[in-house]
């Protein structure tokens, strides 16, 4: 079980809650379970969500494991120049 | 992928040296081929007809007269680029931006295009196209566009991110919020509070090379595109999707690039050139004029930002809050969101809240510009931080040091930081001689901090060892700042050979696996990781070939300083085999030797910079001159320090232009008034002092060499540093960027009048 924190706007499509307890071993499973619980989150995942694990931001490595006790923070996927 | 990206703390032989770049001779002799330098036999000239209206319904487009003109081979409108986006709104926006479908949404929006045998015929043909417009009310100002009574640009858009779905459509496409703690209780604990509103005007990246491409669609449905871009694989994906092609049938080759800075991450002319070529059956060359680049490519947002920060007498910030409104052009974007994330990222804050609003306006579609959205937010925040330090009677640097984020700090955008460099950049600035140098009358000094995320992405690299022992490195990230030199250094480092033995190229889309574009300061970060991985794969093969030659187990062969060495006393008589030796024998030991790598380079470390700036302001004319400038920035590890310094200096130079002169000026008719470098003034060499740099190296734990991105952060602090310097010089807080002479004079006059 990991505790996941959603950024402000994303929490509006996840029952208005910023913090969620999810049983997930990696980013892929985390996204799948969030989408099952809150279908409104799916378009956001399609558009791109980055995952910060203990402060390190992952954008595409969906196989990245979520270590127990790690701080998991969802963020918008960013543009760069 | 089986690659360990963790920082190893190794010692370097090649990395950190400063050899001459492999593309240097061609560039200084004029042989390098940029977008407009490519030509094909039988190629036609493409030209685009653009809307003169900021907002208008396109009732009809009659191309019949143009089609009959001798020498015209194709005329296209939106009908020739049918909507194949299948509900993908982001792609639909790209399509509509490339060629307007129902409405022209800004001055310069493409409405038709022609391909003709020469430029004169093409221009004549454009004049023969008859467009029937119904002109609509327009809005170009970000604050006016956010008002309820503003002309609606897209009546299908309802503000996203609100707790309740709004009843009416709006130009505000999205609200986003970040932060933690309780700012109300935080402000209640403050002894001093500073609150101000700021504006920044829209600017362009100002790359010297205009957008240019040659498209050639063949009768069998395959096609080639030669183009100036930051990401030829992304251009292939987008163009193929918009034209209904299989990506593999479109081969895209990137040219040398005369600047991009985020502005060459989007397609505009390329789908049009391909559609023209498809219709004409001949290659089509399409080169934007400078006027078109300004009117119809992607500038940065104009912004309007409110900031409030409170602090206790001891200098501890108790609460910080910002509301940020960013223009997106006529299509939805996420620019304010990034501003809201970066605004307070430099600081350790118990109570922080940022709210961003994305606002549609009748201006060109906003594109990324080097750390997009961060410079404007930093300008507003760092101005208030400076003012608050003065209120507290504290030194501006000491106040920032006291409140700087550090490892373990919860960032204002959410996660807790790992090892970061804001503290060291501030300490370096505090101790820099620049901070102690005396100033004369009418001169002022300012400093400011900046933050940028950096990111990595999908990356693919091939490393081929020739039979003569020379090494070809094929990468898929476009070289925008000297990355071929940096990546050659990395390959040389891993293989243990000399830099001169490595030749790096940027491969086309049919020669290498997919690569994300060069953005997010990812070029050297990502491709160096892939190059290290590819080199290590090649070394494995080199060891196997040596083992085969010696007829010993491969586990007994190690790779050191460019040689295979049989380890252990039992192999004492075996002389080491050099890479050249093994390569020369490769035909008889199993064939060519190569290393390949495909990976997702995630874990790019965040980056911080602190800048110092001295200005001289003429109080009679309001003219400002930057007389001294220093950049201090964390690079993680500078692979090629000269090009890292170049990135620092380039970002500062662009920031100076943005701070003092550059702005899009629209008339009441919604038309851009200054679409050229005479009236849109970017700094030239004679405007700038030598920009001093100091590279700090706080290793990124998620890269084998500790590399962080360096390309973008350097443009984040300049607006604020220069605004603080000018404010200190004239004694009036400057709140509107650019601080052009009329604006400085107006601020001085307002101050005099009280």
- Chain segment B400-424, per-residue pLDDT in tens: 999 999 999 999 999 999 888 899 9
Q: Give the CATH number of domain B304-417+425-448+605-752; options: 3.30.70.890, 1.10.510.10, 3.30.365.10, 1.20.910.10.
A: 3.30.365.10
* Cβ B566 vs Cβ B574: under 8 Å: yes
9-38 of A, contacting B, C-beta below 8 A = 9, 12, 16
Q: Which residues of B touch A64 (CB under 8 A)?
A: 602
Q: Which of B502, B492, B582, B495 is nearest to B542 (CA)?
A: B582
**Helix axes of B335-342 and B374-392: crossing angle, nearest 10 degrees:** 30
Cross-chain CB nearest to A56 (options B262, B338, B702): B702
Q: Which of A73, A46, A51, A30 is nearest to B178 (CA)?
A: A73
**Domain assignment of residue A81, yes or no:** no
How far does B415 lie from chain A, in Å, by closest CA? 5
CA angle B126/B131/B133 to nearest 5° reads: 140
Domain that holds residue A14: 2-76
All residue ranges of chain B with pLDDT < 70 are 1
pLDDT tens across B222-237, in order?
A: 999 999 999 999 999 9
- Distance between CA atoms of residues B629 and B692, nearest Å: 6
* Cβ B420 vs Cβ B606: under 8 Å: yes
Residue B178 and residue A7: Cβ atoms within 8 Å?
yes
- Residue B177 sits at the chain A interface (C-beta within 8 Å): yes
How far does B545 lie from chain A, in Å, by closest CA? 34
Cross-chain CB nearest to B603 (options A12, A58, A76): A58
The reported pLDDT for the residue numbered B1 is 52
How far does B586 lie from chain A, in Å, by closest CA? 36
Cross-chain CB nearest to A76 (options B263, B334, B418): B334
How would you class B674 by CB atoms within 10 Å of its CB: exposed for 0-12, middle for 13-18, buried for 19 or more?
A: middle
Q: Which residues of A touch B602 (CB under 8 A)?
A: 56-61, 64
**CATH architecture classification, B40-136+210-257+264-296:** Alpha-Beta Complex (3.90)
**Domain assignment of residue A47, yes or no:** yes
pLDDT tens across A13-68, in order?
A: 898 899 999 999 999 999 999 999 999 999 899 889 999 999 888 998 899 999 98
- Residue B379 sits at the chain A interface (C-beta within 8 Å): no
Residue B262 and residue A16: Cβ atoms within 8 Å?
no
**Overall number of domains in chain A:** 1
Cis peptide before B738 (omega within 30 of 0): yes
- Residue A57 sits at the chain B interface (C-beta within 8 Å): yes
**Domain assignment of residue A13, yes or no:** yes
Q: Which residues of A touch B415 (CB under 8 A)?
A: 52, 54-55, 57, 71, 73, 75
Residue B334 and residue A79: Cβ atoms within 8 Å?
yes
DSSP B43: P
CATH 3.30.365.10 boundaries in chain B? 24-32+456-601, 304-417+425-448+605-752
Residue A9 and residue B262: Cβ atoms within 8 Å?
no
Q: Which of B507, B512, B510, B505 is nearest to B491 (CA)?
A: B505
594-633 of B, contacting A, C-beta below 8 A = 600, 602-606
Residue A79 and residue B416: Cβ atoms within 8 Å?
no
The reported pLDDT for the residue numbered A46 is 87
Q: Which token pair is A20?
A: 């969620």
Residue A80 and residue B177: Cβ atoms within 8 Å?
no
CATH 3.90.1170.50 boundaries in chain B? 40-136+210-257+264-296
Instruction: Calculate the dihedral angle through the C-alpha atoms of B96, B108, B333, B721, rounding to the nearest 10 degrees.
Output: 160
**Domain assignment of residue A39, yes or no:** yes
ipTM surpasses 0.90: yes
Supply the CATH number for residue A39's domain: 3.10.20.30
Q: Which of B356, B445, B33 is nearest to B178 (CA)?
A: B356
Quickly count: other Cβ atoms within 10 Å of residue B37's Cβ: 16
Provide CB contacts within 8 A for B285, sequence distance 6+.
B36, B38, B39, B40, B43, B44, B45, B46, B212, B213, B214, B273
Q: What is the CATH number of domain B24-32+456-601?
A: 3.30.365.10
The reported pLDDT for the residue numbered B2 is 73
How far does B156 lie from chain A, in Å, by closest CA? 18
Q: What is the CA radius of gyration of chain B?
A: 27
């Amino acid at each position: 079980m990991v505790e996941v924190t959603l950024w402000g706007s994303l929490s509006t499509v996840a029952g208005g809650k910023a913090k969620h307890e999810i049983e997930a071993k990696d980013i892929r499973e985390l996204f799948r379970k969030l989408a099952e619980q809150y279908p409104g989150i799916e378009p956001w995942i399609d558009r791109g969500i980055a995952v910060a694990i203990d402060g390190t931001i992952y954008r595409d490595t969906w196989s990245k494991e979520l270590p127990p006790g790690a701080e998991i923070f969802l963020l918008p996927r960013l543009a760069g120049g | 992928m089986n690659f360990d990206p963790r920082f190893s703390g190794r010692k370097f032989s090649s990395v950190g040296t400063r050899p001459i770049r492999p593309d240097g001779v061609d560039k200084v002799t004029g042989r390098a081929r940029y977008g407009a330098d490519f030509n094909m036999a039988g190629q036609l000239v493409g030209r685009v007809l653009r809307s003169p209206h900021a907002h208008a319904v396109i009732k009809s487009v009659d191309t019949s007269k143009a089609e009959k003109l001798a020498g015209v081979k194709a005329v296209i409108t939106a009908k020739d680029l049918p909507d194949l986006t299948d509900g993908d709104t982001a792609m639909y926006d790209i399509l509509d931006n490339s060629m307007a479908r129902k409405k022209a949404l800004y001055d310069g929006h493409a409405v038709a295009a022609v391909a003709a045998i020469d430029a004169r015929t093409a221009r004549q043909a454009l004049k023969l196209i008859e467009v029937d417009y119904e002109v609509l009310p327009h809005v170009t100002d970000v604050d006016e566009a956010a008002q309820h009574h503003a002309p609606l640009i897209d009546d299908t858009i309802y503000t996203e991110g609100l707790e309740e779905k709004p009843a009416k459509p709006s130009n505000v496409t999205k609200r986003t919020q970040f932060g933690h703690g309780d700012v109300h209780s935080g402000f209640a604990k403050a002894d001093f509070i500073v609150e101000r509103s700021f504006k920044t005007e829209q600017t362009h990246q100002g790359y010297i090379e205009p957008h240019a491409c040659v498209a050639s669609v063949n009768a069998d449905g395959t096609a080639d595109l030669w183009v100036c871009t930051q990401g030829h694989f992304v251009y292939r994906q987008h163009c193929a999707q918009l034209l209904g092609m299989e990506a593999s049938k479109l081969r895209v080759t990137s040219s040398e690039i005369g600047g991009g800075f985020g502005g060459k991450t989007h397609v505009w002319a390329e789908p049009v050139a391909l559609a023209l070529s498809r219709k004409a059956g001949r290659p089509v060359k399409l080169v934007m004029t400078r006027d078109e680049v300004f009117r119809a490519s992607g500038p940065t947002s104009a912004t309007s930002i409110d900031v409030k920060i409170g602090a206790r007498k001891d200098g501890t910030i108790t609460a910080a809050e910002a509301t940020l409104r960013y223009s997106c052009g006529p299509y939805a974007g996420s620019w304010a969101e990034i501003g809201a994330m970066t605004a307070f990222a430099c600081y350790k804050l118990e109570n922080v809240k940022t709210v961003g609003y994305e606002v549609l306006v009748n201006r060109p579609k906003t594109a990324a510009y080097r750390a997009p959205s961060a410079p404007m937010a930093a300008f507003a925040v760092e101005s208030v931080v400076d003012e608050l330090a003065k209120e507290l009677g504290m030194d501006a640097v000491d106040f920032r040091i006291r409140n700087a984020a550090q490892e373990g700090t919860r960032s204002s955008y959410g996660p807790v930081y790992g090892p970061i460099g804001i503290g060291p950049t501030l300490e370096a600035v505090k101790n820099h001689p620049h901070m102690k140098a005396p100033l004369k009358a009418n001169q002022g000094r300012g400093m400011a901090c900046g933050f940028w995320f950096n990111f990595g992405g999908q990356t693919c690299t091939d490393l081929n060892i020739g039979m003569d022992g020379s090494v070809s490195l094929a990468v898929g990230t476009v070289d925008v700042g000297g990355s071929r030199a940096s990546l050659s250094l990395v390959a040389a480092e891993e293989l243990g050979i000399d830099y001169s033995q490595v030749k790096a190229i940027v491969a086309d889309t049919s020669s290498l696996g997919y690569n994300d574009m060069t953005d997010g300061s990812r070029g050297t970060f990502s491709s160096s990781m892939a190059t290290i991985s590819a080199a290590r794969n090649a070394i494995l093969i080199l060891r196997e070939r040596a083992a085969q030659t010696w007829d010993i187990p491969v586990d007994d062969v190690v790779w050191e300083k460019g040689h295979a060495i049989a380890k252990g006393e039992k192999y004492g008589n075996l002389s080491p085999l050099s890479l050249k030796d093994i390569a020369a024998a490769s035909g008889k030991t199993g064939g060519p030797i190569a290393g390949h790598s495909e990976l997702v380079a995630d874990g790019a470390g965040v980056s911080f910079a602190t800048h110092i700036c001295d200005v001289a302001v003429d109080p009679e004319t309001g003219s400002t001159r930057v007389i001294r400038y220093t950049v201090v920035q964390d690079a993680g590890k500078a692979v090629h320090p000269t090009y890292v310094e170049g990135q620092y200096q380039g970002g500062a130079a662009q920031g100076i232009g943005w701070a003092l002169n550059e702005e899009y000026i629209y008339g009441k008719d919604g038309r851009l008034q200054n679409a050229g470098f005479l009236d849109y003034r970017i700094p030239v060499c004679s405007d700038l002092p030598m920009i001093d740099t100091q590279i700090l190296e706080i290793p990124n734990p998620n890269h084998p060499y500790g590399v962080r991105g360096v390309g973008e952060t350097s443009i984040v602090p300049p607006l604020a540093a220069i605004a603080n310097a000018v404010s200190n010089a004239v004694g009036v807080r400057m709140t509107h960027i650019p601080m052009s002479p009329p604006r400085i004079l107006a601020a001085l006059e307002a101050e005099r009048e009280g």
